[in-house]
């Protein structure tokens, strides 16, 4: 039983270190006109040089990767000359910093629980009952800290964004409209820009 407990705690620690809540260090921007910099590209389709470019900046933690893949597929078929780029829309710097602090605190608390360290001795305070419970129930305490912190980190880094730029010109913003464009709306937007943008006549 003791070996099983050690195994569970080890798995929790590894998840805390290398789990799905790892956060990008790039600074995000709420201004769509500045979205072209500081982003990690997740994929691109179509020719590049001399052709129009459509950029998607979306909230990866919201599950919008599938929406990007779907739009990228149908747009590549309809507009083979269009270069399509997808990238994560990063959270604000303050949210990013808070999330990173939470991630570090999560690791420190889990390590303290596993090792049985009493922080309160160092500050001259009496150990509270809840910390005694944590050190007596290491597995449950570590799981609560791990998943609770992950939930808070996810809320902080979730932007809900799905922003589109055509040749670096913002053409759609979910942050402003509150929704993702329908395929027909996206086709109309692209057709209009291809028609009136002289370097890329329709």
Say what the alpha-carbon torsion angle 42, 47, 50, 55 is, to the nearest 10 degrees.
Answer: -30
What was the pLDDT predicted at 62?
87
β pairing state of 162-166 and 41-45: unpaired
Say what the alpha-carbon torsion angle 50, 85, 91, 160 is, to the nearest 10 degrees.
Answer: 120
* Domains held by the chain: number: 2
What was the pLDDT predicted at 63?
86
Does 166 fall in a domain? yes
Does 19 fall in a domain? no
Cα distance between residue 77 and residue 72, in whole Å: 9
User: 113 and 135 in contact (C-beta within 8 Å)?
Assistant: yes
Do 154 and 164 fall into the same domain? no
Cα distance between residue 90 and residue 95, in whole Å: 10
- What Rg value do the Cα atoms of the chain yield, rounded? 23
Does 1 fall in a domain? no
Does 23 fall in a domain? no
Do 64 and 147 fall into the same domain? no
Do 152 and 114 fall into the same domain? yes
Do 78 and 103 fall into the same domain? no
Does 12 fall in a domain? no
Do 83 and 100 fall into the same domain? no
Do 117 and 69 fall into the same domain? no
For residue 62, what is the domain's CATH number?
3.40.30.10
Do 165 and 84 fall into the same domain? yes
Per-residue pLDDT of the chain (202 residues; tens, 9 = 90+): 444 444 555 555 555 555 544 444 333 344 444 444 334 344 444 444 568 899 999 998 888 999 999 999 999 999 998 899 999 998 889 998 999 999 999 999 999 899 888 777 777 788 888 888 888 898 999 999 999 999 999 888 889 999 999 999 999 999 999 999 999 999 999 998 887 654 544 4
What was the pLDDT predicted at 182?
92
Provide the residue range defining the domain that includes 154: 93-158
Does 8 fall in a domain? no
Do 119 and 146 fall into the same domain? yes
What was the pLDDT predicted at 161?
93
What was the pLDDT predicted at 92?
86
Do 105 and 184 fall into the same domain? no
What was the pLDDT predicted at 9?
52
Do 108 and 119 fall into the same domain? yes
Non-local CB neighbours of 27 within 8 Å, separated by 6+ positions: 38, 90, 93, 96
Does 41 fall in a domain? no
């Amino acid at each position: 039983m003791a070996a099983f407990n050690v195994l569970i705690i080890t798995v929790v620690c590894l998840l805390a270190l290398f789990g799905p809540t790892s956060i990008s260090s790039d600074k995000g921007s709420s201004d769509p006109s500045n979205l072209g910099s500081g982003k990690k590209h997740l994929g691109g389709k179509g020719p590049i040089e001399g052709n129009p470019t459509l950029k998607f900046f979306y909230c990866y933690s919201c599950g919008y990767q599938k929406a990007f893949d779907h739009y990228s597929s149908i747009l590549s078929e309809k507009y083979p000359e269009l270069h399509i780029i997808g990238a994560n829309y990063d959270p604000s710097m303050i949210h990013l910093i808070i999330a990173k602090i939470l991630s570090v605190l999560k690791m420190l608390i889990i390590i303290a629980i596993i090792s049985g360290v009493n922080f309160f001795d160092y500050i001259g305070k009496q150990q509270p009952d809840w910390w005694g419970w944590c050190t007596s129930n290491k597995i449950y305490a570590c799981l609560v800290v791990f998943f609770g912190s992950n939930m808070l980190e996810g809320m902080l880094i979730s932007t809900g964004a799905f922003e589109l730029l055509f040749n670096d010109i913002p053409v759609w913003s979910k942050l402003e409209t509150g929704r993702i464009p329908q395929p027909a709306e996206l086709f109309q937007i692209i057709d209009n820009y291809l028609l009136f943008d002289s370097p890329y006549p329709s």
